[in-house]
Amino acid sequence: MSFPELLRQCRKQKHMSQAELASLLGVTQQAVGKWESGKSSPDPATVAKLAEILDTTADYLLGLFDPASEGQTEERFFGSYVYSLIPVIGTVKAGYGALAFEEDYGQEYARVKDPSNYFYLVVRGDSMEPRIQDGDLALVHKQDTLENGDLGVLIYGDEGEGTLKRYIQRGNCVVLQPFNPAYSEMVIKGEDLNHLHIAGRVVETKAKW
């Protein structure tokens, strides 16, 4: 990928607008726009500052890290974290006592400690708008428990399909809460809790272009 594409991708992963990035850098939004469109390029010192703000490296932004040119290398170390290729799936389902990860959409990079314990899920529907849009990618850490208030991928019913919702513990009930006020929250209690499966915790989301 080119510098303009990598810059735009990293900025969106941080949920930052061009104006916000420009303000942190002390430049105009137009300057950032020109960098992302390839009409101009920042100087090396600015690239280094961009990398610091976007929690990456100058080499990565400049496209000097290219797994394809390094044989089959799929990781780059940053302390205890690595940039790794994480599988992108379309659906998560419960059935036959285990979770099934269906619909292979390829792979995307993520900076995580234990890449084998993560997957990307393509968000479907508008129940989490305006914060999370249809088609966004949610990075999910595989785990079967959630803390109160976590954003998780949950499956209700033995053969249900995974849904991305906020997990709320309310007394003896569990509430699956959407962000979109047009949707009602789901309250699960009693024996029905035995049919609620947790696929993982959402650690970040990003727009997919």
Mean pLDDT in each 10-residue stretch from start to end of the chain (209 residues)? 86 89 91 90 86 84 57 44 79 64 81 86 88 88 93 82 90 92 92 90 81
Contact 201, 142 (CB under 8 A): no
Query: Token pair of 174, please?
Result: 């569990």
Report the distance separating Cα 66 and Cα 149, nearest Å: 37
3-state SS assignment for residue 48: helix
Catalytic residue among 84, 93, 165, 206: 165
Q: Which residues are paired to 165 by β-bridges?
A: 152
Tell me if residue 84 is catalytic.
no
- 50 in the Ramachandran plot: left (φ > 0), alpha (ψ -120 to 50) or beta? alpha
Q: How many residues does the chain have?
A: 209
Give residue 156's identity as a one-letter amino acid code. Answer: Y
Tell me if residue 12 is catalytic.
no
Half-sphere exposure of 27 (CA within 13 A, CB side): 18
pLDDT for position 98: 60
Long-range pairs for 168-175: beta carbons < 8 A, 24 or more residues apart: none
Catalytic residue among 84, 93, 127, 206: 127
| Residue 176, Cβ density class (10 Å: 0-12 exposed, 13-18 middle, ≥19 buried) | buried
3-state helix, strand, coil in the chain (%, to 5): 25, 40, 35
Angle at 63 between CA 62 and CA 69, to 5 degrees: 150
Q: Which residues are paired to 188 by β-bridges?
A: 174
Dihedral in degrees, nearest 10, Cα atoms 154, 157, 161, 165: -30
pLDDT for position 66: 47
Contact 183, 76 (CB under 8 A): no
pTM of the model: 0.62
